[in-house]
């Protein structure tokens, strides 16, 4: 069965928790690969044209010049000005609505108005290029609306006449339009399958761009004795390092999501007759919460005592519950997301820009 066939179940079973900060790192990863495609504007570098959000073009930011004409902002490319989107424009272009379920009612968040969004700390998000993964992620998480309120918040929405519910507004940390806007030429499926395929696309595209850059250096199209070319090379290497960081962060957050889901939704005590034994596992990252994993040996011993059964029966009870939880649609969805993120991390590790 394709995962998209059970997408609604996966969502309500816990994948909503995959938004927020983990989504901000995913967007950072996508945007950094988007910026890496700036190399294709350099004569003799790469082939085939843009693949990441190719329909995203510089647009009005809400500003006007002295004559009242709209100001179209572009950002710096690897060499000269880029004719492609800034981060703010990229986020707007790839946005897709995200649903919130309250009881049996489903409401959707609303799209931020790009020229009204307040980006805290710097205007680089609307004008700049070469931001670090940390800067991009921070911009996405801390964006505010025209009213000064966080884009990420709950608001009351009338979902039908006389029925008002609180709906989560995700700002730019909800769904991404993977098939329609992010990878429109890749013919991705929709739903969960589209998300997983999008992660694969990101890894494939990053490796392809690394190959283009190495070949351009080997062929003399990028001359590292040239000051501008050397600067561009440093930026390309930094982009790749930050793509790897974003992918690694995403993988860690996905693991946290899965283990939190298992601990909170397993209903273990009802099956075991006693609370299972959990072992703390450190994430190794200050932004990612530590998580707990089941200790099978101690838990089986606790089941034996609580239920007054022998070793074989206690282990059977444990395995039956374990298989039920790991076979659930919620677990399968989280696990698929982990596998997709790990694949990106593993693929990016193979990138080496040093020509040999």
pLDDT at 236: 97
Residue 35: helix, strand or coil by DSSP?
A: helix
Q: Where are the domains of the chain?
A: 3-349
Rounded to whole angstroms, how far apart are CA atoms 19 and 325?
22
pLDDT tens-digit map of 126-182: 666 778 999 999 999 999 998 899 999 988 877 788 888 888 889 999 999 999 999
Rounded to whole angstroms, how far apart are CA atoms 244 and 286?
17
Specify the DSSP element, H or E, that contains 294. Answer: strand 291-294
pLDDT at 163: 83
Residues of the chain under the 50 pLDDT cut? 1-17
pLDDT at 76: 83
pLDDT at 99: 84
**Beta carbons of 191 and 3 less than 8 angstroms apart:** yes
Q: Report the predicted TM-score, pTM, of the whole model to 2 decimal places.
A: 0.90
Rounded to whole angstroms, how far apart are CA atoms 211 and 42?
15
Specify the DSSP element, H or E, that contains 278. Answer: strand 278-281
pLDDT tens-digit map of 63-90: 677 787 777 777 888 998 888 998 999 9
Q: Positive or negative CA dihedral for 15, 17, 22, 24?
A: positive
Rounded to whole angstroms, how far apart are CA atoms 279 and 289?
14
Rounded to whole angstroms, how far apart are CA atoms 131 and 125?
8
Rounded to whole angstroms, how far apart are CA atoms 273 and 220?
70
**Beta carbons of 8 and 225 less than 8 angstroms apart:** no
Residues making up the chain, counted from first to last: 356
pLDDT at 238: 96
């Amino acid at each position: 069965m394709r995962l998209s066939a059970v997408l609604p179940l996966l969502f309500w079973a816990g994948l909503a928790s995959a938004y927020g900060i983990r989504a901000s790192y995913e967007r950072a990863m996508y945007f950094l690969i988007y910026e890496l495609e700036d190399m294709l504007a350099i004569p003799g570098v790469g082939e085939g044209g843009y693949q990441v959000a190719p329909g995203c073009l510089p647009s009005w930011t809400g500003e006007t010049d002295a004559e009242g004409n709209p100001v179209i902002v572009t950002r710096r490319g690897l060499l000269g000005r880029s004719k492609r989107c800034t981060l703010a424009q990229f986020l707007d272009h790839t946005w897709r609505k995200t649903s919130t379920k309250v009881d049996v009612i489903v409401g959707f968040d609303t799209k931020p108005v790009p020229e009204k969004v307040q980006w805290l700390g710097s205007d680089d998000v609307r004008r700049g290029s070469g931001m670090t993964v940390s800067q991009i992620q921070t911009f996405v998480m801390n964006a505010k609306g025209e009213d000064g309120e966080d884009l990420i918040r709950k608001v009351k929405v009338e979902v039908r006449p006389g029925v008002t519910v609180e709906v989560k507004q995700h700002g730019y940390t909800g769904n991404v339009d993977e098939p329609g806007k992010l990878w429109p030429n890749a013919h991705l499926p929709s739903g969960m399958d589209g998300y997983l395929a999008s992660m694969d696309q990101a890894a494939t595209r990053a490796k392809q761009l690394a190959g283009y850059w190495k070949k351009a250096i080997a062929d003399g199209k990028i001359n590292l004795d040239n000051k501008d070319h050397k600067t561009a090379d440093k930026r390309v290497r930094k982009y790749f390092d930050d793509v790897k960081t974003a992918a690694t962060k995403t993988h860690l957050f996905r693991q946290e999501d899965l283990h939190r889901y298992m601990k909170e939704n397993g209903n273990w005590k009802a099956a075991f007759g006693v609370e299972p034994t959990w072992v703390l596992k450190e994430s190794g990252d200050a932004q990612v919460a530590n998580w707990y994993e089941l200790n099978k040996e101690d838990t089986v011993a606790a089941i034996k005592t609580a239920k007054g059964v022998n070793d074989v029966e206690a282990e059977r009870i444990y395995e039956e519950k374990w298989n039920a939880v790991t076979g659930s649609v919620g677990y399968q969805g989280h696990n698929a997301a982990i596998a997709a993120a790990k694949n990106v991390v593993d693929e990016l590790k193979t990138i080496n820009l040093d020509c040999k």
